[in-house]
Amino acid sequence: MSNKNFSRKEQILESAAMLFKQNGYASSSMRDLASLLGIEAASLYHHVKSKEEILENICFALADKLITSIAEVNDIYFNAEEKLRSAIKNHIEIITDNSNFSAVFIHEWRHLSEPKLGEFKTLRLAYENEFKVIIQEGIREDIFDGVDEKFATLTILSTLNWVIEWFNKDGEMTPEEISTKLSDFILGGLRKKLVTDLDYKP
């Protein structure tokens, strides 16, 4: 596979992600995608094996990025709060940096069929687990409340993933600002805190 071919495939994946984000996977036809690229539908099959292969490539590309990123966070030693803040920051960075891919990763994965569907779920579970480990560590270090770990993990991730619903590269907030706000919210909650709070950082 030559360089040119590879970059053409990347173009296809990027256009597909944009299309799938906007209309959903099932409502996006290969003809729609082709016309977005200025070619005929049949020509797509020179670069991809099937429509589903496109979905697979998008979903797994993002899964890989997220898993690589959180493995790094967990490797470096920080206390749990710092780890959580890093994990949140990385997550937000990745999904805002790849907003089309992420939207597909988050919403369209269920259109995968077996065996890829199973593999995908495994990867996603692995990622969630790395997050859960951080929460558990925080509880062990006694800096997090003894909340239901699984519940907390999934609540946090759903909050993070919601960002792609409204994020706009030209919008008011930078990914960095979003991460900080979300971290503060997740750690501190809505209720007003006294300055005597344990570890309270404004």
Partner DNA sequence: AATTTTGTCTAACATCTGTTAGGGATATGA
Partner DNA sequence: TCATATCCCTAACAGATGTTAGACAAAATT
**Residues near DNA (CB under 7 A):** 1-2, 4-5, 8, 28-32, 34, 38-47, 49-52
Round to whole Å and give the CA distance between 165 and 19: 15
Pick one of 34, 94, 103, 182: the residue that binds a copy of itself (CB under 8 A): 182
Round to whole Å and give the CA distance between 188 and 202: 9
Q: Which stretch binds a copy of itself (CB under 8 A): 36-44, 56-64, 67-75, 139-147?
A: 139-147
| Residue number with CB closer to a copy of itself (47 or 124) | 124
Largest CA distance in the chain: 66
Residue 111 interface partner, choices a copy of itself, DNA, none, CB cut-off 5-8 Å depending on type? a copy of itself
Binding status of residue 131 toward a copy of itself by CB under 8 A:
no
- Mention every residue, 6+ apart, whose C-beta is less than 8 A from residue 89: 176, 179, 183
Round to whole Å and give the CA distance between 144 and 178: 22
Q: Do 178 and 83 touch, CB atoms closer than 8 A?
A: no
Residue 187 has which token pair? 């750690």
Q: Do 26 and 111 touch, CB atoms closer than 8 A?
A: yes
Residue 168's Cα: distance from chain center in Å? Answer: 15
Query: Which residues, numbered 74-113, are part of the site for a copy of itself (CB under 8 A)?
Result: 81, 84, 107, 110-111
ω before 202 within 30° of 0 (cis)? no
User: What minimum distance in Å lies between the beta carbon of 44 and DNA?
Assistant: 7
Binding status of residue 189 toward a copy of itself by CB under 8 A:
yes
Residue 135 interface partner, choices a copy of itself, DNA, none, CB cut-off 5-8 Å depending on type? a copy of itself
Query: Which residues, numbered 15-54, are part of the site for a copy of itself (CB under 8 A)?
Result: 24, 26-27
User: What minimum distance in Å lies between the beta carbon of 145 and a copy of itself?
Assistant: 5
Residue 41 has which token pair? 């539908």
Pick one of 20, 109, 127, 144: the residue that binds a copy of itself (CB under 8 A): 144
Residue 98's nearest CA partner among 52, 51, 61, 54 is: 61
Q: Which residues bind a copy of itself (CB under 8 A)?
A: 24, 26-27, 81, 84, 107, 110-111, 135, 138, 142-145, 147-148, 151-152, 154-156, 158-159, 162, 165-166, 181-182, 185-194, 196-200
